[in-house]
Amino acid sequence: MNTEEPPKRRLDARALRGLAHPLRVRILEDLTTGPATSARLAERLGENTGTVSWHLRQLAEHGFIEEEAGRGTKRERWWRRVRAQHVLATTDFRDDPGTKLVADEYLREMLQVQQQRVAESLAAEWQGEWLGVGSISDWNNMRLTAGQLTALNEELMAVVNRYEELAAAGEPEPGARQVLVQVRAMPRADSGNEQV
């Protein structure tokens, strides 16, 4: 198991355009659970194989996925996500309205994917030790400075990274399963404060 931290990839305009399509976002999301063929992805996503294959090639061309070596045949190719942490700094596109629109589209699609993950977890019939261990929290009325919000986000990410490193350090413990962790800490747009 790879215990090194994945490389960080800052998304530029070209990479963002290669990623910002609803089906590509869904394909990448599906590949988080492991490699798959275009036929398997098409079946799971309710799309036709040709369409999925085309989008897989686009994702590969932009470096988001790669063919899994030594698996499959020339006719049945297995694809996996490239191990990387994608960083999207929307401020990079402040002076490029076209790319800012693409970034906004990508972020909206990612938000829908994240909401779907939560909805599926809430709808699941958890049993045994998994019953009641999840949490949804909402602190929506804090008053912080921009510096305090930055510090809060850094501290939250440090905690998540510590557990992520623990999970990557070796074989999963018995009873371990993939978990969903979402952290959203941002200024409220409707707070009545001036937005700069």
The token pair at 18 is: 């290669």
Domain end residue (candidates: 124, 144, 163): 124
- Give the model's pLDDT for residue 87: 87
Query: Domain end: 106, 124, 142, which one?
Result: 124
Query: What's the pLDDT at 185?
Result: 86
Chain segment 61-74, per-residue pLDDT in tens? 999 999 988 887 77
Q: Are strands 8-10 and 85-87 parallel, antiparallel or unpaired?
A: parallel
CA dist., res. 29 & res. 81, Å (int):
9
> Phi/psi at 124 (nearest 5 deg)?
-70, 150
Question: pLDDT 10s per residue in the chain (196 long)?
Answer: 455 667 888 999 999 999 989 999 999 999 988 899 999 999 999 999 999 999 999 999 999 999 988 887 777 899 999 988 888 888 888 899 999 999 999 999 989 988 998 999 999 999 999 999 998 888 888 999 999 999 999 999 999 989 888 887 888 888 888 898 988 888 888 755 555 4
For residue 72, count CB atoms less than 10 angstroms from its CB and return exposed for 0-12, middle for 13-18, buried for 19 or more. middle
In a domain, 2, yes or no: no
Quick one: 150 and 107 in the same domain?
A: no
In the prediction, which pLDDT does 172 show? 83
What is the pLDDT, as a whole number, of residue 127?
Answer: 92
pLDDT at 1: 46
Over residues 181-192, the pLDDT tens digits come to 988 888 888 755
For residues 103 and 88, the answer to whether their CB atoms sit within 8 Å is yes
User: Residues 28, 118: one domain?
Assistant: yes
Residues 89 and 17 placed together within one structural domain of the fold = yes
The last residue of a domain, from among 91, 124, 157:
124
115 shares its domain with 154: no
* CATH number of residue 95's parent domain: 1.10.10.10
Using one digit for the tens of pLDDT, what is the confidence trace for 17-30? 999 899 999 999 99
Q: What pLDDT does residue 24 have?
A: 94
Residue-range definition of the domain harbouring residue 15: 8-124
Q: What is the pLDDT of residue 194?
A: 54
End-to-end, the C-alpha distance of the chain in Å comes to: 44
Read out DSSP for 121-167? HHHS---GGGTT-------------HHHHHHHHHHHHHHHHHHHHHH
